[in-house]
Every structure is written in structure tokens, then in C-alpha cells.
Amino acid sequence: MGLHIIKMPDIGEGIAEVELVEWHVKAGDAVSEDQILADVMTDKATVQVPSPVNGKVLALGGKVGEVMAVGSELIRLEVEGGNAVETPAAEKPKGANAAPSSAPPTAVVPTDTKPQETRQQHATQHEAYVSAGADAGAAEQKAASSSAARLSIVPPVPGAAVAARPDGGRPLASPAVRRRAWELGIDLQAVRGSGPAGRISHADLDACLSREPSPSATAPRAAAYERRDDEKEVPVIGLRRRIAEKMQESKRHIPHFTYVEELDVTELETLRTRMNAQWGEARGKLTLLPFLARAMVLALREFPQINARYDDEAGIVTRYGPVHMGIAAQTDAGLMVPVLRHAEALDLWALGREVARLAQAARDGSATREELTGSTITLTSLGPLGGIVSTPVINYPEVAIVGVNRIIEKPVVIQGAIAIRKTMNLSSSFDHRVVDGMHAAEFIQNLRAYMECPALLFVE
């Protein structure tokens, strides 16, 4: 018998370390080639590491929640043969003609993939070699070859038969699906997966819920005033840790200045309703966000210092011509900010379609790494839960974030008469090191002018 050491693979983008999110095996387990060993996370992207060989697990190289360096020992396997072998960290492919590696690399399998036709529709995006860590129904991929390590996308085969997992085998599911199943109290062993190799998706969990009686209907109800002394420690790992680190980084570096203004959106809502009635079926329904995104694009032309990033270590503010707008989206896994690229080049309907697509991609886990990085300013909205006022946290190292509060109807005095109007607050935060309070106020007042007189949105 021999020893096979698998090292933490390099998943590219210049990343030096990753977080170990979940082990799929334990010491003593027999593993087969291509079997998933572990889930690791970097920046908001979760990937799965498969085994390049058949063998038996001797030792695990880290604990769940531990941050591990690329190239460090991930796992030790006992394999057939008498020589010790190391599987090196996979190198990021440098092109189609990359030279083959001298040793079989450990491939990195994205937890989710996007269909080939979707990638062709978005030619400006890089190949989606990393996904956001929820189930999108992608096939497990063949990994570990003698050629250079590559992070490949294998689109699902239309009409392919669903392969059931072996009896007693570990259910195949992404971290997001496992987390949701745990929260719902669903045993994944009892769920039949509809994906390739019996992979379980969110839809399979929904189907399982529809077949099972509600826990509230069968479980005895706790006493209304029953005393409780229990407590539970929840490790902050994975995406939740990334969110915590990002928020802490922002508040530690940026002196936030928050400015709140009330907008009368009665005319805008009337226009939006008419546009949806006339063109909604053909072009898609418009929400408020495309109008606000367009207003931000126009306002940023006069305030370019707000569409910027501040490198406080280098002492340099970079102002951007293109508006790459982050759209904060709440998902089952946590807060994500997919990026609407080149918002300045899109009309209202294109903005609406892209906002909807990105939000859905964040929720179902199909957003690529490129779609989750590179924003120059952020727009955040909680919809009907938006409240009256909020104090949004800037997406560091950006210098501004615009927050949308909910629309309410209230009496307003107009030329001495009382009228019922639809109003909404904008709660926006700015980096006071780079944006003066007066300029922040002028920017929001400019936004207000566009939103209260929506005809201006169509005038160049």
C-alpha cells in the first residue's frame, strides 16, 4: 500500500487561502475517483474538491471553519502501490495551449454550473468556473487528468435519465441545499434527487415538503409560557463569516455619512403602471429599481467622484467611467451583491431584465465569480420590508451606497391643498473621507429630481 497526499488546490484569481466549509468524508472512509472530498470557500464562491484516485482516508488536514493556505495538505489517502505520491495544488489554466502537468492535478468541481447556451448569451463574461454555492442542477464532472488543471463546465444533457445514488451512499447536494434541509428538519437520505447521479436540488426539497405533513400539524404545541434555559452555539463559517468580515472591514475603514431624503414617486409609479400595461407582456414588467438605476447613471455623470473606489493604503481614489452597479440581494445562504455591469449602456427594460437575472442567479447559486465582484457603487433595497429609514453599510472599497425604503401613501400639502401622494425615502451612505457632505446631498437631490419628474430619465 502507498500514501497519496492531496494538497489544497489553487482555484485561481490569485487567491492564497480558502476556508474549509464541509468535509464529505472522514478518517477510515473508502473513496473512489471523482468522489467529492470537501467543500471550500473563497470570497463568496464555494467549490468542491474531488479525489483524483481510489483509496482510503487516513487523515484530514483541517477542521470545518479553518482557513487553509493554497498548497497546504488537505487529506491523506492510502492507495494501492508502494510509493508515496503528492497531488499538487492545481494551477489556474493560462490558456487552451497550457503545457501538461507532470503529475495528475486535483481538479476543482464547481458546486453548480450554468448551461452552455446561457454562457453564450453573455459573451462579455469570463467562463463560469466558480459558482456561488447553491444548487443549480449541474452534473458532477470528470476530474483529474494528466493535462493541466482546468475548471470545466459540463452542461446537463437534455432528457438524460436521472441516476439514483447507491443504497447507503452519501446524498449529493450543495452546501446551500444541505443547510436548508437541516433548517427544515429533512433527512437527505429520504429525499430522491432529480439531478445527475441523484443530486438533490431545492426543488426536490420543496417536493419532499409537499408530501410530508407540516410539523406544526403533528408535533405537540409547546406551552405558551414554558420556561426555556437552552442555548446553542453556532459557528460563524462559510458565507456568513465572509459577510461578517466584509461588514467589519467597511466599518473599520470608512467613516460613514448617511443622508436621508424623501421622494414623491407618484408620477413615477403612474408612468411605470402605464408602461407595464402597454409593453409589460412583450418586454417584461418594470419594477422601481430600473428607474432608480437609470437615475443613478444620469446623476453620476455630474458627480463622478461618487462612482469610485478609495484605496486608503495607497492614498488613491479611482473614478470609473463605466457604472458597474452592485445590486444587494438576500439569499438563503446570506447577503450577496451581484454586479450589473455597464448600467450606463442599458435602457429601462434591459436594466430590469438584468436586475432580475442577477438576483435570481444569486438566489439559486448560479452567479459566477465575475458576477459577484467589481462593482463601483451599490444599490440596496428590502422592498416592502424597507422601513422608513435605514443606514446602509458601504461595500468597501466603494465610496457610496444608495438604499431604497418602502413606498407609502400619505397626505402631502401641495400649493395649500392636501393631496394623497406616494412617497419613499432614500437612505444613502457615503465615505466622508472622499465625499463631502454637500456633494453627497447634491447627488441625492439630483436623484430626487429625476425620480420626481421621470420624463427627465428619457432626455439626454
- What is the number of other CB atoms lying within 10 angstroms of the CB of residue 136? 24
Q: Is the distance from CB of 394 to CB of 435 less than 8 angstroms?
A: no
Q: Is residue 42 part of a domain?
A: yes
Q: Which of 24, 253, 342, 432 is catalytic?
A: 432
Among residues 76, 110, 144, the one where a domain terminates is 110
- Is residue 436 part of the annotated active site? The answer reads yes
Using alpha carbons, select from 294, 349, 348, 358 the residue that is nearest to residue 323.
294
Query: CB 73: neighbour CB atoms within 10 A?
Result: 16
Rounded to an integer, what distance in angstroms lies between the CA atom of residue 25 and that of residue 291?
Answer: 49
Catalytic (active site) residue 432: yes
Residue 384 covered by a domain: yes
Q: Is residue 262 part of a domain?
A: yes
Query: 187, 206, 347, 436: which one is catalytic?
Result: 436
38 in any annotated domain: yes
Q: Is residue 183 situated within a structural domain? A: no
Quick check: is 203 in a domain? no
Within a 10 A sphere around the Cβ of 456, how many other Cβ atoms?
12
In a domain, 50, yes or no: yes
CATH number for the domain spanning 2: value is: 2.40.50.100
**Structural domain ending residue among the three candidates 110, 144, 177:** 110
Q: Which residues constitute the domain of residue 442? A: 239-458
Structural domains counted in the chain: 2
**Strand pairing report for 85-87 and 2-7:** parallel
178: in domain = no
> Look-up: residue for cell 481538479?
107
Q: Is the peptide bond before 397 cis (omega within 30 degrees of 0)?
A: yes
What are the strands, taking DSSP E only, across 14-146?
A: 17-23, 30-31, 36-42, 45-50, 55-60, 67-69, 73-79, 85-87, 109-110
SS3 218: helix
Q: pTM score > 0.75 for this model?
A: no
- If phi > 0 it is left, if psi is from -120 to 50 it is alpha, else beta; for residue 78 that is beta
**Which CATH number goes with the domain that contains 324?**
3.30.559.10
Report angle CA 406, 257, 404 to the nearest 5 degrees: 15
Picking from 81, 110, 139, the residue at the C-terminal end of a domain is 110
Give the pLDDT of the chain (460 residues) as one tens digit per residue: 789 999 988 876 667 888 888 899 999 999 998 899 998 887 656 788 999 999 999 999 999 888 888 889 999 999 987 666 666 554 433 333 333 333 333 444 444 434 344 434 433 333 333 333 333 333 333 333 333 333 333 333 333 334 455 555 677 777 677 778 877 878 888 888 887 778 888 888 888 887 766 555 555 566 678 999 999 998 888 888 889 999 999 999 999 999 999 999 999 999 999 999 999 999 999 999 999 999 999 999 999 999 999 999 999 999 999 999 999 998 888 899 999 999 999 999 999 999 999 999 998 888 888 899 999 999 999 878 888 999 999 999 999 999 999 999 999 999 999 999 999 999 999 999 999 999 999 999 999 999 999 999 998 7
Upper half-sphere CA count for residue 105 (Cβ side, 13 Å) = 22
